[in-house]
Chains A and B, each alone.
Chain A
């Protein structure tokens, strides 16, 4: 365990010095501030909607960009440039190296999400809205999807180059979102003969987590970029909030992807 902690600390140190990560985290904080300022220009209920809409867009789009960027280079570059080789030569095992590289990236991603969430909560307080419980729950819900995307990109990064790993991570998130949307459409009888296929897909692939807040905003068509209205055959799909089963299912997928990271690096030549 002490070796894993040493590796996580080492990789955190390296990540914290990367300019693009510093810029990304600070830009997220700045955008959260912008969301607060924009919300301040609205009154009453519109103010709350505006803050939540801006915050949700930041958490999804900014978070996804950060997650993909972090995951896509988690293992491939350091395995090629000699960093992992020097760690193995110092006594680290491959699973320990994976734990260090992926664990440190998880900490950065979760830390960034929490910092952005905290900024939004501070803004909510400053606007006189009090602490926003539904937005806090939404932050956690989005966070699970971001962790999924990051781990998918990380797992792919053990065998392919960063661009391909990034595409894989983003695709995994899109598939997870599609599974949720299609299942909701099927439940509303909007899919037709493909019902069985959609339900099967839902029980195979991971799922993004829909928070009660975003489900309600999407229904009113005020969720913005984070949850635009879903239409199938000109019919609006109402996507319900996820249950705990989906939370657990996606968590299981995250664990599977973390194991795939270790499996992918197990046989890979390391410089």
Chain B
């Protein structure tokens, strides 16, 4: 029997900032099949976020990365990834619902589908009651929930979570994404209960998988 097509496939990935002497990440091989999950853990500065950024095409990288068979960044792979960024300023200047609607619109298109998908994601991330708030009003937990909503809106085939907090909503959404045949990749310094939900785990040390 042939292997199922990979949702995410990375070979010999290397991420290096500003042509620096030491790569932030090197020699990483990853393969996520439909329904699979993967936790990337490691200490602060180990390269977890750099790895995710390399996989998503946010930083220049060496090696091959493909999403559902298309090179990362290619038109065919765009809109098939749901990304929940770390930090709390990624949606500055917007209201909570506007940020999620924008992500849905960029991922899926327009019209009622977008509004419905956004409201659905807000409810699943526990943010339905603050949809009209400015994102600057959200506390740290609210920002993590908004990040989750951005990642799951429209139910993309690949969900990438950077520094998610382990809410019951997070664990439920990881399970739901895997159950519908999607893949989930999460990076966390303190993974807590994420590992069982994701199934597999790798540890980054100084940019290398140990």
- Residues from chain B with a CB closer than 8 A to the CB of A87 are 102, 106
| B84-92, B169-177, B187-195 - interface stretch | B84-92
Task: From A81, A83, A85, A90, give the contact of B107 (CB < 8 A).
Answer: A90
Interface residues in B144-185 by Cβ distance below 8 A to A read 150-151, 160
The total of chain B residues at the interface (CB under 8 A) is 38
Q: Say yes or no: is A89 at the interface (Cβ < 8 Å to chain B).
A: yes
A161 to nearest B CB, angstroms?
15
- Chain B contact residues: over half helix, strand or loop, or mixed? loop
> Beyond A82-B90, A86-B91, is A13–B106 a contact (Cβ under 8 Å)?
no
Name the B residues within 8 Å of A91 (CB-CB): 78-81, 106-107
| Chain A positions within 8 Å of B93 at CB level | 13-15, 17-18
Which of the candidate stretches B35-43, B52-60, B199-207 sits at the interface with the other chain?
A: B52-60
In the bound assembly, the distance between CA atoms of A1 and B6 in angstroms comes to: 30
B41-75 residues at the A interface, CB under 8 angstroms = 53, 56-60, 73, 75
Chain B residues 99 to 131 lying within 8 A of chain A, measured CB to CB, are 99, 102-103, 105-107, 109-110
Known: A14-B94, A91-B78, A270-B59. A86 touches B17 (CB 8 A): no
In whole angstroms, what is the CA distance A82 to B117 when docked?
A: 23
| Contact call A6/B106, Cβ cutoff below 8 A | yes
User: Does A107 reach chain B (CB closer than 8 Å)?
Assistant: no
Chain A neighbourhood of B18, CB < 8 A: 269
A269 and B53 form a contact (CB under 8 A): yes
Q: Is the CB of A89 within 8 A of B82?
A: yes
Instruction: Let me know if A81 and B106 touch, CB within 8 A.
Output: no
Instruction: For B59, give its contact among A7, A17, A269 (CB under 8 Å).
Output: A269
Q: Are B105 and A86 in contact (CB under 8 A)?
A: no
The answer to whether B53 and A6 have CB atoms under 8 Å apart is no
Chain A: interface residue count, which band?
20 to 34
**A13–B81 touching, CB < 8 Å:** no
- CA of A85 to CA of B151, assembled, Å: 12
Counting CB contacts under 8 A, is A22 at the interface?
no
Rounded to whole angstroms, the CA-CA distance of A82 and B58 in the bound complex is 10
Residues 88-125 of A at the B interface (beta carbon under 8 Å) = 88-93
| Residues B160 and A89 in contact, CB atoms below 8 Å apart | yes
CB < 8 Å neighbour of B53 from A2, A15, A85, A92: A85
Question: Are B83 and A271 within 8 A (Cβ)?
Answer: no
How far in angstroms is the closest Cβ of chain A from B166? 20
Residue in B18, B58, B78, B109 with the greatest tally of chain A CB atoms within 10 Å: B58
A144 to chain B, nearest CB (A): 29
Residue contact A13 to B78, C-beta cutoff 8 Å: no
Q: How far is the CB of B145 from chain A (nearest CB, A)?
A: 14
A81 to B53, CA, bound (A): 14
A85-B150 CB under 8 A given contacts A90-B103, A91-B81, A271-B58: no
Q: Chain A's nearest CB lies how many Å from the CB of B204?
A: 18
- Contact pick for A82, options B82, B86, B94, CB 8 Å: B86
State in angstroms the CA–CA spacing of A112 and B203 once bound together: 53
Residues from chain B with a CB closer than 8 A to the CB of A88 are 56-58, 83
Q: How far is the CA of A10 from the CA of B160 in the complex (A)?
A: 23
The answer to whether B59 and A89 have CB atoms under 8 Å apart is no
Docked Cα-Cα span, A82 to B83, in Å, equals: 11
Q: Is the CB of A93 within 8 A of B78?
A: yes
Q: Would you give the shortest CB distance from A103 to chain B, in whole angstroms?
A: 15
**Residues of A58-102 contacting chain B, CB below 8 A:** 81-83, 85-93
Contact of A42 with B by CB under 8 A: no
A15: chain B residues at CB < 8 Å are 93
Asked if residues A2 and B98 are in contact (CB atoms below 8 Å), the reply is: no
Cβ of A89 and Cβ of B85 under 8 Å apart?
yes
B150 touches A269 (CB 8 A): no
Q: Kindly state whether residue A220 has any CB partner on chain B within 8 Å.
A: no
Say yes or no: A83-B57 contact (C-beta < 8 A), given A6-B102, A89-B85, A91-B106: no
A103 to B77, CA, bound (A): 25
Query: What 6 additional pairs, Cβ within 8 angstroms, besides A82-B89, A90-B83, A93-B73?
Result: A6-B105, A6-B110, A14-B94, A18-B93, A85-B56, A92-B78
Contact surface of B with A, Cβ cutoff 8 Å: 17-18, 53, 56-60, 73, 75, 78-87, 89-94, 98-99, 102-103, 105-107, 109-110, 150-151, 160
Q: Which 10 A-B pairs have the closest CB atoms?
A: A89-B83, A82-B90, A14-B93, A91-B79, A90-B103, A90-B106, A81-B89, A91-B78, A86-B90, A269-B59
